[in-house]
Amino acid sequence: MSLVPCPVCFLEVPAEELVAARRVERDTLRLVAGNAPGWRAHLGLCNACLARFQSARETLRRERHQVVPGALPILPTALRLGAPADLHGRGVTIAFLDAGFHAHPDLVGRGDRILRYVDINNARARRSDLERADESSWHGMMTSVVACGDGALSAGFYRGLASETRLVLVKVGHARRIVHDDIRRGLDWVVRHRRQYAIRIVNVSCGGDFEASYLSDRLSQSVERATKEGLVVCCAVGNMGHMPGHPVLPPGSAPSALTVGGLDDQNRLAFAGFRMYHSSYGPTLDGLQKPEVIAPGIFIAAPVLPGTAIAERVALLARLAQAPDRELQTRIDESPGVDPTLDAARGIAPHAVRALVRKRLRDENVVSTHYKHVDGTSFAAPIVSSVAALMLEANARLTPQEVKSIVVRTSRRIPGVEVDRQGWGVVDPQAAVAEALRRRQPAKAAAVLPFKTRRSTGT
């Protein structure tokens, strides 16, 4: 049996499994051509790629989200990675450590899935604090929604892979500063309360202050302890790949952490034409190679923080983009001070206003009225955390070591990119879940940790 590379994903498959273009619907062929640079229909594609593009085509037909005219049309991450459509992280809890959070409608609008909120530095913090938006709220709001949002404000289009997962939100700093030891304290809090809330995964989209050996660093040792206690600790590797030394800081440098770098998939569906994001990468001070895997780290749809000046500005730009020419000046006049650039455009011709609005949409990374596109390994990590949630829904008996091993073994390497930068490659949700299911013991019921639905306050 001769093996040949698939012209789309470049994985080797038996020659007889390549599907000829004449057997593929025209709409699917157009989708492949638009997402696989250099591909031509006469080359064909493998069965796995065909199934992925057919599924994507049906999703795009079924769930048409209204993108603002002039904005960059961002594809959902689950669609780009080919995530399984029948699993959403049900029964799994992810704890998020970040600078701050917000009770966004994508997390609470169709049923509140936030089990607990705690501020490591404020024992009087309450769940109601999440209703107020401040400068520290946006980062953790976006990381948690990227992983677990149900897309309530996009008719379900921009939902995370783990859209039915429960959340525990742990504030470990603020927008201007996160202290190395506060991350440790947050992680230790999660370990202490893991059974109470059935926490299986910890997402850490923040880094410490300095490089350190896990042999002496207390934060790194907390990661090792959390893993031994049954938690998958998923960490962003950082965004310093363009700097000398490209250092990997704790907690991502800890041996047992599942550390995630960034991929630039160019907002495409195929495993082709990929480039690296400027992620940090190892070796660490202990000689460990990090990251283990990569996931999309750019062109990620994330929510705009409600009730803020930027939310008001994005809403105005969206209204202008969809308004008829005769209403443009009226709408600008009705919103003085929202966008000084638009204020200065009063009196110019409609076509010039539209050109300015298009530029402002791109400047602000607007996707739609409620979403922007963002970048950073802070958002690649929660994507991998959400993949782990799907795996644990499929097989709750998996240990953290097994989850990490499966994610690593099923990832796909990008041709032509140094192994040091990409680790074992791009995470593959479909393959990871399939392996999790294969390891399931059908004769035994999966153990489910109890959790208390009644929220308590403080630490």
Q: In the structure, what pLDDT confidence band is assigned to residue 345 with cuts at 50, 70 and 90?
A: confident
Does residue 447 belong to any structural domain of this protein? no
Q: Are residues 120 and 264 in the same domain?
A: yes
pLDDT at res. 17? 87
Q: Are residues 249 and 214 part of one domain? A: yes
First to last CA, the chain: 61
Question: Per the domain annotation, does 20 fall within a domain?
Answer: no
Residue labelled with tokens 């879940």: 433
Query: What is the tens place of the pLDDT at every residue in 98-137?
Result: 999 999 999 999 899 999 999 999 999 999 999 998 889 9
330-340 tens-digit pLDDT: 999 999 999 99
For 32-53, the pLDDT digits (tens) are 988 888 898 889 999 988 988 9
340 and 391, same structural domain?
no
User: What is the rounded distance in angstroms from the CA atom of residue 396 to the CA atom of residue 387?
Assistant: 13
Do 334 and 395 belong together in one domain? no
Pairwise CA distance, residues 253 & 211, whole Å: 8
Domain assignment present for 129: yes
Among residues 341, 369, 397, which one ends one of the domains? 369
pLDDT at 303 over 90: yes
Question: What is the CATH classification number for the domain harbouring 158?
Answer: 3.40.50.200
- Reported as a single tens digit per residue, the pLDDT across 222-264 is 999 999 999 999 999 999 988 888 999 999 999 999 999 999 9
> What pLDDT shows up at residue 459?
40
Q: 156 lies in a domain?
A: yes
The DSSP symbol for 165 reads -
Identify whether residues 349 and 395 lie together within a single domain. no
Instruction: Determine the Cα–Cα distance for residues 254 and 57; give it in Å rounded to an integer.
Output: 40
pLDDT at 452: 43
pLDDT reading at 268 higher than 70? yes
Expressed as residue numbers, the domain containing 268 is: 93-302+374-438
Please compute Rg for the chain using Cα positions: 22
Neighbours of 128 (CB within 10 A): 10
pTM of the model: 0.90
When divided into structural domains, the chain yields a total of: 2
Please check whether residues 158 and 257 belong to one and the same domain. yes
* Same structural domain, 253 and 203: yes
- Whether 365 and 398 share a structural domain: no
Position 372 scores a pLDDT of 94
Task: Please give the pLDDT value at position 64.
Answer: 61
Tell whether 178 and 309 lie within a shared domain: no
Per DSSP, the chain holds a count of helices (H) and strands (E) of: 15, 13
State whether 339 and 257 are in the same domain. Answer: no
Give the whole-angstrom CA distance, residue 160 versus residue 76.
8
Give the torsion sign (CA, 369, 372, 373, 379).
negative
Q: Which of 369, 393, 416 is the last residue of a domain?
A: 369
Residues 231 and 340 in one domain: no
**Rounded distance, CA 385 to CA 184, Å?**
19
d(Cα 114, Cα 117) in Å, to the nearest integer? Answer: 7
- Are 341 and 254 part of one and the same domain? no
Q: Which residues contact 185 (CB under 8 A, 6 or more apart)?
A: 120, 172
Residue 145 lies in a domain: yes
